[in-house]
Homo-oligomer: A and B are copies of this chain.
Amino acid sequence: MEDDAVLLVASTAPDEATARRIAQALVERRLAACVNVGAPVWSVYRWQGAIEQAQEFPLWIKTTAARRQALMQALAELHPYDVPEALALPAVDGLPAYLEWVRQEVKE
């Protein structure tokens, strides 16, 4: 994967305040160019043998391949869960000006 490949990283947080705090910190640290905190979702999942349900807030995080390790490390540090979700989805194309904007905004 090219270092300047743009990624959409999907995550969730237990409440809106936590989601916004994490989103703000990732942008401040230039680990994300933009983060969208979505409307609450209903989640169903297995945890330690039991099926559980919870309300969560999705985060859609725009970054680059080069910054993804630092981003996920910060996400783990900032997040209250022991095992927060972080799935990096690769963009195979996009509007050139937008892709370039993402790259510039996460440059160290």
Q: A24-B44, A36-B43 known; A86 and B98 CB under 8 Å? A: yes
With both beta carbons as reference points, the residue of chain B lying nearest to A30 in the complex is identified as: B46
Total identical chains: 3
Query: Distance (Å) between the CB of A102 and the closest chain B CB?
Result: 9
* B residues less than 8 Å from A78 (CB atoms): none
Classify chain A's interface size.
35 or more
In the bound complex, how far is the Cα of B106 from the Cα of A45, in angstroms?
11
Q: Restricting to A17-67, which residues have a CB under 8 Å from any CB of B?
A: 20, 23-24, 27-28, 30, 33-46, 51, 56, 58, 60, 62, 65
Binary contact readout A65-108 vs B (1 if CB under 8 angstroms, 0 otherwise): 10010001001100000111111111111110110010001000
Q: A38-B58, A51-B24 known; A72 and B85 CB under 8 Å? A: no
Extra contacts besides A30-B46, A34-B85, A36-B43 (5): CB < 8 Å = A28-B51, A34-B46, A38-B41, A58-B60, A86-B94
